[in-house]
Amino acid sequence: MVDSQPHPDSYYFASANRQTDYPEFSGTESCDVCVIGGGVTGLSSALHLSERGYRVILLEGNQIGWGASGRNGGQSIFGYSCEMSKIRSLVGVDDAKKLWDLSLESLELTRQLIHDHQIQCDWTDGQMHAAIKPRQHRELELWRAELSADYQYDHLELWTGNELKSKINTDRYLAGLYDSKSGHLHPLNYTLGLADAAEKQGVFIYEKTMVREVREGSRIKVITSEGDLSCSYLILAGNAYLSGISGQIHKKLMPVGTYIGATEPLGEEKARELITNNMAVADINFVLDYYRLSADHRLLFGGRVSYSTVPPVQLAASMKSRMLKVFPQLSEAVIEYAWGGFVGITMNRAPHFGRIGKNIFYAQGFSGHGVALTGLAGKLIAESVAGTSERFDLFSRIPHLSFPGGPYLRMPALVLAMAYYRIRDLLP
């Protein structure tokens, strides 16, 4: 693993409620549970375990929220990155229904954590998936019908024509599937709020502490740059940034770059002319655009991907070009911030939870759909450590393949494979 790095120069970091200054770990310690990773998965697991009476130490190689938890699009959405039909084909009808219910629980847990711990993160109800092409319009109709018939989910509204236009001021979309149960938030402030809650509950948090080695056993030994600790249980919660700790699970994960641009403040009137109900939006292209308004009336516009992990050149200009395809009326708006980061994707785009031996747990591969699910992942890990593993095991039963090509060829292979989906996005 590389040495610690500062937060990216993002809008989220510039508007964070606070800057963290947790100590670096040194010396020798012991605990019941060690958590590696200071994002939502790690903090949620630490918080829930501490509430159960465990002595928990959390190690973050950079700063709290430095990874995807503090950089993402902030959209908290039902379901998973892959469709429920894919989940059903992997685990069967009964387990698919249970996993669907857990995805809804993840949304409720997010709201509950925000409420219980008074986290100031600008939670806003409402999210819409948008169709650009006629076949995508049909996909939204079928998706709505499937979720109603198979999962009794009847909270979706399909908007077209003037109704759609009254909600979002663009000619780009033919239809939109709106969900009032989903929503959006300031992801870094949410993550920082979880850290506050965990520390108050008794969790020991350390930043700028790189883990160099993990030695498995009945008492696990975690070696850091300046010390070591022993623990009965270890939680790997670094996701796309965990490379070097466990190749056993990392080979089933691919880090993929994704990017966001934030405009200057547009003013409330101009912002609400774009999205009248302040919902978050994502189209359903494979290489999708996603966006929302911030609390101070900026447009936060995400899109592009880099399967080679190389960021685009002139990122701000690139993000503005994508933004103008949706909102050409923003041609004079300045992009004040542009940043990116890695999400961890799996081959099937389903989340990857599991164990190594009996006392190492991990949750990764949220595939761009982790704002809500990461919080639930932490709660389920805590349940499993405490001896109740049925719900965690629902996820661990999802089969996952390693990315082909080994450590040197899997990235070029993925780049070639994704070219097919980029071409498909262009088809009518």
Phi and psi of 418, rounded to 5°? Answer: -70, -20
pLDDT at 5: 86
Q: Across the 428 residues of the chain, what is the mean pLDDT of every consecutive 10-residue run?
A: 78 97 97 98 98 98 97 97 96 98 98 98 98 97 97 97 98 98 98 98 97 96 96 96 78 91 98 98 93 98 79 89 98 97 93 96 96 98 97 97 68 50 54
Contact 177, 26 (CB under 8 A): no
Tell me which residue has tokens 């880090």.
Answer: 255
Q: Tens of pLDDT along 25-64?
A: 999 999 999 999 999 999 999 999 999 999 999 999 999 9
Token couple for 155: 């909270």
Provide the residue count of the chain. Answer: 428
The pTM of the full predicted model, rounded to 2 decimals, is 0.94
Residue 8's identity, in one-letter code, is P
Residue 328's SS3 state is helix
> ∠ at Cα 142 (141, 148), nearest 5°?
95
Report H helices in 123-252.
Answer: 134-151, 161-167, 187-201, 247-250
Domains parsed from the chain with CATH numbers: 11-71+188-252+348-405 (3.50.50.60)
Q: Tens of pLDDT along 123-144?
A: 999 999 999 999 999 999 999 9
pLDDT at 106: 98
Contact 395, 73 (CB under 8 A): no
